[in-house]
Chain A
Amino acid sequence: MDFQSCVKINREWDIVGARQIGREHAKKIGFGTVDQARIATAISELARNIYLYADTGKICFEIINEIDRKGLWILAVDNGPGIADISQVMEDGFSTSGGLGAGLPGVKRLMDQFDIISETGKGTEIRTVKWVRK
């Protein structure tokens, strides 16, 4: 898929840039304030993970315009070390922040669809979608 826009994550402040672009898209599509804030938080988590564990990567956005629904597709890609045990990281309470609800399980809760493809030594690709509530 050809993404409309991508933000490279190289430094911590790039996380802010990614949030910014994500929020602009979300506003344009018609998400309410609560969902805009949720999307921004999800982007933070994904971008922070890239910054912390993979050094560099990117966050890409795509607006989905279907006949009966609209949504925002967010993709986080990196060529970092990958995640060996995905089931484990998706367990509540596993993240290093432990019991604060953030991390990847948090992203899954904030968004409507969530998928991870990761291979150790090669990298990680996280795809997630949020639909506009009608």
Chain B
Amino acid sequence: MNKVNLDLENYRKLLKQYMITQDEKALYQAEQFTKLSMQHNISPEEIVNVHIQALKEIYPDLPKEIDDSMSFLLEAMISYGLAYQEFQSLREKQLELKSEISVAANMQQTLLSTVKPSIRGLDIGATSIPANQMSGDYYHFVKDNEDTLGIAIADVIGKGVPAALSMSMIKYSMDSFPLSQRNPSAILENLNRVVERNVDPSMFITMFYGLYDPKTSVFQYSSAGHEPGFYYNAKMDKFDEIKAKGLVLGVSNDTVYQQYELEINKGDMIILLTDGVTECRLADRFIERDEVLDVIKKFTHLPAQEAVEQVYKYFERLQDFQLRDDFTLIIIKKDV
């Protein structure tokens, strides 16, 4: 308890100085004293006690009423001291949790990492930014030796750690499917069974799977309740929604998914996204899908990767740099 004694000496000096001069300097030093005390986990009741001691030393004939009232104050401070200590310990715990989550987030990034493939004639851009540390969005590219490109994009309804855990499961089930099985509808049907068996019924996963074959220039796709993307038809200079019907994953184990196809020509574009993009929240309302498309259009003249990054930056600013949902955007342009 040497520390407190030492501080008492200091406190008494400051108090005395203040009593005589009432100057600001003593008050500034008192502020420094309090900060130092807090660093040493000194509770408020101990400060009050130091004050009483100092007061008695400066005024040996302190009226009894004042003395009693100071004891009363000390008693009243005990609970504040306890709350302060609890706050300290909770803060330490929170830091621990934060660092644990950041380790998990790093693991998730490694687990879910995907390589953007280079496919003859395609310019691909992709970005995925989590709202919090861990993401409930996911995208993945699969390229096989015949140069076909598989694209998966998925979104767990829900955020944070549970969403992130289910995403890792999706990724691993997909990896376990044979490469020969590349039909979008079949892939969704298989995943649907995995999700139905393994994921809590309160958790929903939406997913879009597309398969592009450069030999035929045909893009086949199926959707499990996923946010519709956009298709740009260069010849007609027109954007359309990529509409596809299908139930979200995990609702019933025998869901069948319809498969659709599009022919992609030179200059055409496919834009895939999650609802973190379309449900971008402005101060007082959600953004309209048309507005989202208008923003995307502003940047599609850029190379695909630059375009997705610029769109993200635009929305990030629009939302005051506080994403409320995970944001994933993929743009695929056909160059030749």
Contact = CB atoms under 8 A, between A and B. Distances in A.
B82 A93 contact: no
Nearest to B84: A101
B75 A101 contact: no
A1 interface: no
B45 interface: yes
Interface residues of A, number: 18
Interface in A74-96: 92-93
Given A34-B49, A37-B45, A133-B1, A93 B86 contact: yes
Contacts of B89: 92
A25 to B, nearest CB: 17
Nearest to A99: B86
B86 A33 contact: no
A93 B87 CA distance: 9
Interface in A22-51: 32-34, 37-38, 40-41
Question: Which of A32, A34, A41 has the most chain B CB atoms inside 10 A of its CB?
Answer: A34
B74 interface: yes
A110 B82 contact: yes
B74 A100 contact: no
B210 to A, nearest CB: 47
B79 interface: yes
Nearest to B1: A133
A37 B48 CA distance: 12
Interface of B is mostly: helix
B74 A37 contact: yes
Contact of A102 (B45, B49, B82, B93): B82
Nearest to B86: A101
Report whether over half of chain A's contact residues are helix, strand or loop; otherwise say mixed. Answer: helix
- Scoring B75, B85, B86 by chain A CB atoms within 10 A of each residue's CB, the highest score goes to B86
A92 B96 CA distance: 15
Contacts of B82: 41, 100-102, 106, 109-110
Nearest to B43: A34
B45 A100 contact: no
Nearest to A93: B90
B78 to A, nearest CB: 5
A37 B45 CA distance: 9
A105 interface: yes
B85 A37 contact: no
Contacts of B45: 34, 37-38
A114 to B, nearest CB: 14
Contacts of A38: 45, 78
Given A33-B74, A34-B74, A100 B86 contact: yes
A102 B78 CA distance: 10
B83 interface: yes
Interface string B20-53: 0000000000000000000000000110010010
A92 B90 contact: yes
B79 A100 contact: yes
Nearest to B79: A102
A-B CB proximity, top 10 nearest:
A101-B82, A101-B83, A101-B86, A106-B82, A41-B78, A34-B49, A37-B75, A37-B78, A100-B83, A92-B86
Interface of B: 1, 45-46, 49, 52, 71, 74-75, 78-79, 81-87, 89-90, 93
